[in-house]
Amino acid sequence: METEPVRRRAPGMTPAERREMIVRTALPLVAEHGTAVTTGQIARAAGIGEATIFRVFADKDELLDACVAEALRADHVLAEIAEVPMDQPLADRLTEAAAAIEAYLARMGMVIGALHATGRRDRGRHGGGEHADATLDRESAMTRTRDAIADLFGPERDSLRLPAEQIAEMFMGAVFTRARPPAGPDASTPPLEDYLDVFLHGALKDGDPA
């Protein structure tokens, strides 16, 4: 006989902490099922009663808005870039930064893509709110990410042809471009090492005239 899942209670958990836990649990389910995910599925995955969800969210739509906001947050990528060792070669530093950005873009794309694919194409039911705040936060996060990448060029700052912030913008553009599907049936995405080689050393082979 199937038994009921054990309900996990978190003594002392604040509503904000409970909300964060529920969103963190819901994210992979939303990425898999889109709007078809049920609050029952999320509750079972979190080990809580379904009613607990509605103590911190008005309804499922508000929970989905919170999931979108969480997917847009760049805290994790910023933390990973900040931890890149500065004593390794620049190419290695940029490889780690690119990997962190690509993971962030993949997570964001999975969540938002699944919601769009299952019919959720609006920007939030209330004309703004948490979803609109997340968009503003994303713009701020892009600026913070650019600045974090610019810091990676610190040891080479005197050798740069442009200000570090401008080069960081170019680098982010290259990474975002690589994250898009290749154009055309015969196109393929070059390896990250090739992107970085062209980014750092140019498109021409050594000795070839411009």
pLDDT tens by residue, 82-108: 999 999 999 999 999 999 999 988 988
Q: How far apart are CA 201 and CA 79, in angstroms?
A: 28
Q: Which of 107, 98, 59, 100 is nearest to 78 (CA)?
A: 100
Whether residue 71 contacts residue 111, with contact meaning beta carbons closer than 8 Å, is answered with: yes
Q: How far apart are CA 41 and CA 53, in angstroms?
A: 11
Residue 126 binned pLDDT confidence (cut-offs 50, 70, 90): very low
CA-derived radius of gyration, the chain? 21
Cβ-based neighbour number of residue 41 at 10 Å: 17
CA atoms within 13 A on the CB side of 182: 8
For the chain, domain boundaries: 61-201
Q: What is the pLDDT of residue 127?
A: 43
For 32, the enclosing helix (H) or strand (E) is: helix 15-33
Instruction: Say if pTM beats, i.e. exceeds, 0.85.
Output: no
Reply yes or no on whether the pLDDT at 196 is more than 70.
yes
Reply yes or no on whether the pLDDT at 133 is more than 90.
no
Q: What is the pLDDT of residue 2?
A: 42
Q: How far apart are CA 76 and CA 82, in angstroms?
A: 10
Cβ-based neighbour number of residue 81 at 10 Å: 22
- For residue range 6-37, list pLDDT tens digits in order: 445 545 689 999 999 999 999 999 999 999 99
151, with CB counted inside 10 A (0-12, 13-18, 19+), is middle
- Among all chains, which residue has been given the structure tokens 């960081």? 168
DSSP assignment letter at 158 = G
Mean pLDDT of the chain: 85
Q: What is the pLDDT of residue 140?
A: 81
